[in-house]
A and B are shown apart, each in its own frame.
Chain A
Amino acid sequence: MREDKATLRNLLIIGGTVLLMLLIFLIMARGIG
């Protein structure tokens, strides 16, 4: 049960990081483009 919770948290962290990086690349692409 708690293991599932820990996995879910890890997935949330991964998802959050991916979204953050997408945002950064978007900002950079707009700046360069």
Chain B
Amino acid sequence: MKRLCFLSPDPTHTRHVVADLLDAGIPEKHIYVVASSDTLHRNELTGLPDQGPEGNDFLAAWERGLAFGGIAGLFAGILVVTFPPAGLALGGGAVLLIGLAGSGLGGLLAGIAGAAFHSSRLSQFEKDLEQGKILVLVDVAANDRHQIEELIHKRDPGVIIEGIEPPTSLIPP
């Protein structure tokens, strides 16, 4: 599976391209249309596939928070066990538990904060999105890639199609 992404200049063009892709046999669930909130609020994209999990950065931030929180928690656990607070007798299990708690807290806070931002995977398109352009993402089988690229070029010969790997998240979408 390969994810192709390209910028479409306006909603009408997006509609045509998405219709072409659907005609080519790509299921709707493999197409994502990402736009800035301004464009979305003008309701010009009604009826098109939505941005799905690419809409915000929750999952990526959650994974980062989990890792950093876990590391910080482990260090805190080691610290507490090495220099125990007065009156507390802590065993090795405390390191593990404090590590897990740190991991959970880090993931939670980072995830909630990340949900307020655009997907960090799409940061290179941020400027174009703000200018009103629309980003279309298509998941295609590796073998069909050239055929689909030709199809997109037919509608707009100047379009630049980039390939990014589909997300390999911990939790399937």
Chain B residue contacts of A6, Cβ below 8 A: 52-53, 55, 58, 173
Tally of A interface residues using CB under 8 Å: 19
Interface SS of B by simple majority: helix
**CB-nearest residue of chain A relative to B55?**
A3
Question: Are B107's CB and A28's CB within 8 A?
Answer: no
The CA-CA distance from A3 to B35 in the complex, in Å, is 13
Partner of B94, one of A9, A21, A28: A28
Partner of B173, one of A1, A9, A17, A32: A9
Report B66 CB to chain A, min CB distance, Å: 9
Report A4 CB to chain B, min CB distance, Å: 9
Question: Are A2's CB and B115's CB within 8 A?
Answer: no
B128 at interface by CB-CB < 8 Å = no
List the one stretch of B14-22, B97-105, B137-145 in contact with chain A: B97-105
**Extra pairs beyond A3-B55, A10-B59, A21-B101 (14, CB < 8 Å):** A2-B50, A3-B51, A6-B53, A13-B58, A14-B111, A17-B104, A17-B107, A20-B100, A20-B104, A24-B101, A25-B101, A27-B97, A32-B88, A32-B90
A–B Cβ pairs within 8 angstroms, 28 of them: A1-B50, A2-B49, A2-B50, A3-B50, A3-B51, A6-B52, A6-B58, A9-B53, A10-B59, A10-B111, A13-B59, A13-B62, A13-B111, A13-B171, A14-B112, A17-B111, A18-B108, A20-B100, A21-B104, A21-B108, A24-B101, A25-B101, A27-B97, A28-B94, A28-B97, A28-B98, A28-B101, A31-B94
